[in-house]
Structure 1
Amino acid sequence: MTGSVPVHLEVDRGAVLDGDLVLPPEPRGVVAFAHGSGSSRHSPRNRAVARVLQEAGLGTLLFDLLTEDEERTDAVTAELRFDVPFLAGRLVAAVDRLGARPDTAGAPLGLFGASTGAAAALTAAAERPDAVRAVVSRGGRPDLAGQALGRVRPPVLLIVGGLDTEVLRLNEQAADALSAPCTLRVVPGAGHLFEEPGTLAEAATSARDFFLSTVPGPIGT
């Protein structure tokens, strides 16, 4: 496993987003993370999940969906954190950049979204059906993807805490609206942030197993 490599993703409006890319010598696939509202690539929960994926031979990309200036504005106005089309556009740009990089071009790609990032991941998957092989949501709001749910093609895993009853209800509704194969995984005793002992590890294991069953194969296969 290589160490974390800083990457800079050029996206819309001339913006450049900072990210951290970790790749094994022959990745079985690469998973790009979309964090939730008010978070960043430094999210300790997403990084914990990323480590589990890395240990299984998957590459990971954690990156900021907003620039520093946008984050400062959003901290005051909250105008961007729930703008799913905008966030999805940023994730689509990351998917495209991964497809163009020499070290990741041809690698099977999965998306992992938390909170509002789950809606962005599902929308991005609908926009790039030939590039994205699987989507995992942890404590996500897939319902915010709206009509894009009906255009998602790759298989989807929705992971929800058993104590997170309102989000569970919204995930059940989103699962019914998805046209893609969908599995709803409820983690007993887990709240929205999976802070309860052992619950985040259980969610990470479920994500790992799902990605390994849907996004396998070294580069070039």
Structure 2
Amino acid sequence: MPYEKVSFPAASGHMLEGVLEMPEGPPHGIALFAHCFTCTKQSKAAVAVSRSLAEEGLATLRFDFTGLGESEGEFATAGFASDVEDLAAAASYLFARFGRKLVLVGHSLGGAAVLAAADDIGMDRIAAIATIAAPSDVPHVLERIKGDLGGVRETGQGRVSIGGRPFELSRTFLERVEAADLLAEVGKLRVPLMFLHSPTDEIVGVENASALFNAAKHPKSFVSLSGADHLLLEEEDARFAARLIATWAGRYTVREAVAG
């Protein structure tokens, strides 16, 4: 599939780096993909889902959040609020380029981020939102951080381990994560929603999907990714999720294209 490397500015001015996966023919929809916590645009799920969405006719942008991968900025102070700001910047880039409503797709904490970013992006610019293995409680991600978080809060900065990799975190990062109230944000959404989750997810339990679904207004859908792991390490699981999202979102992107 054809692709382009793209760059666009974050709200604070530093550059964010992404890859735009394009269909073979004219796209029938435009999608924005948000990767999981401390992952990058090159994670297995990000690549597999984005390319599969493109195969289904959706031009799809995957990009690195601030301070991760090839994007500029400081991860130590970024936090969840920064991810939301980055998504709004990415959406502005796509809307300026294509002038069409977007399908937002997020994996794990990226799923929480697309839900929280919807208001900043603007409901009039969103065709639909789909999440994969998203937490309903954003501070949940702090449980995956190994290190002295109390020391980080006390001194303002500290080194921790996330998924076996070292990171430098700040008190600001922790405060931004803890301040998020995702269920309240979901309750305000007035766009079609789809929540995909594996009932055997050992990192973010399926009860998170239940909480998100219950908080959401209709139209909303739930899909069980039976047998899949949290990170979608099996490519077929990622491709299956992408095909479902593309088929479901097609109902809303086609309507939007006709209306436009």
- TM-score class normalised by the smaller sequence: 0.7 to 0.9
Question: 1:179-218 alignment to 2 at 5 Å?
Answer: 179-196=217-234, 198-216=236-254, 218=257
Find runs of 4+ consecutive structure 1 residues off by over 4 angstroms.
68-73, 217-220
Q: Which residue of 2 aligns with 1:160?
A: 197
Select between 201-210 and 47-56 the one with higher mean Cα deviation: 201-210
Provide the C-alpha distance between the structure 2 equivalents of 1:59 and 1:88, rounded to a whole number of angstroms: 21
Question: 1:35-46 alignment to 2 at 5 Å?
Answer: 35-46=35-46
Q: Which residue of 1 aligns with 2:126?
A: 132
In the TM superposition, residue 220 of structure 1 has moved relative to its aligned partner by 8.1
Change beyond 3 A, Cα 1:195–1:44: closer
Find out whether 1:115 has 2:108 as its counterpart: yes
Q: Which residue of 1 aligns with 2:159?
A: none
- CA displacement 1:151-198 (0-9 Å, x = unmatched): 211111111112016521011011111134221111212221233574
Provide the C-alpha distance between the structure 1 equivalents of 2:137 and 2:119, rounded to a whole number of angstroms: 14
Q: Which residue of 2 aligns with 1:14?
A: 13
SS class of match (1:195): coil
Q: What percentage of residue pairs aligned between the two structures are identical?
A: 27
Provide the C-alpha distance between the structure 1 equivalents of 2:91 and 2:239, rounded to a whole number of angstroms: 26
Name the aligned partner's letter for residue 131 of structure 1: R
Name the aligned partner's letter for residue 127 of structure 2: R
**Is the CA contact 1:5–1:21 (under 8 Å) kept in the aligned structure 2?**
yes
Change beyond 3 A, Cα 1:195–1:67: closer
Which of the two has higher C-alpha Rg?
Answer: 2
In the TM superposition, residue 22 of structure 1 has moved relative to its aligned partner by 2.8
- CA displacement 1:97-118 (0-9 Å, x = unmatched): 21212xx12x231011011111
Which structure 2 segments of 5+ residues have no match? 139-181
**Is the CA contact 1:16–1:67 (under 8 Å) kept in the aligned structure 2?**
no
In the TM superposition, residue 28 of structure 1 has moved relative to its aligned partner by 0.7
Select between 197-206 and 127-136 the one with higher mean Cα deviation: 197-206
Name the aligned partner's letter for residue 219 of structure 2: P
How many equivalent pairs are there? 212
Name the aligned partner's letter for residue 193 of structure 1: L
- Give the alignment's TM-score, normalised by structure 2: 0.73
Find out whether 1:148 has 2:142 as its counterpart: no
Question: 1:58-97 alignment to 2 at 5 Å?
Answer: 58-67=58-67, 74=75, 77=76, 80=78, 83-97=79-93
In the TM superposition, residue 218 of structure 1 has moved relative to its aligned partner by 4.7
In the TM superposition, residue 63 of structure 1 has moved relative to its aligned partner by 0.9
CA RMSD across the alignment: 2.4
Q: Which residue of 1 aligns with 2:30?
A: 30
Change beyond 3 A, Cα 1:198–1:96: closer
SS class of match (2:36): coil
- Give the alignment's TM-score, normalised by structure 1: 0.85
Change beyond 3 A, Cα 1:172–1:209: same
**Is the CA contact 2:48–2:235 (under 8 Å) kept in the aligned structure 1?**
no
In the TM superposition, residue 32 of structure 1 has moved relative to its aligned partner by 0.5
Provide the C-alpha distance between the structure 2 equivalents of 1:108 and 1:203, rounded to a whole number of angstroms: 21
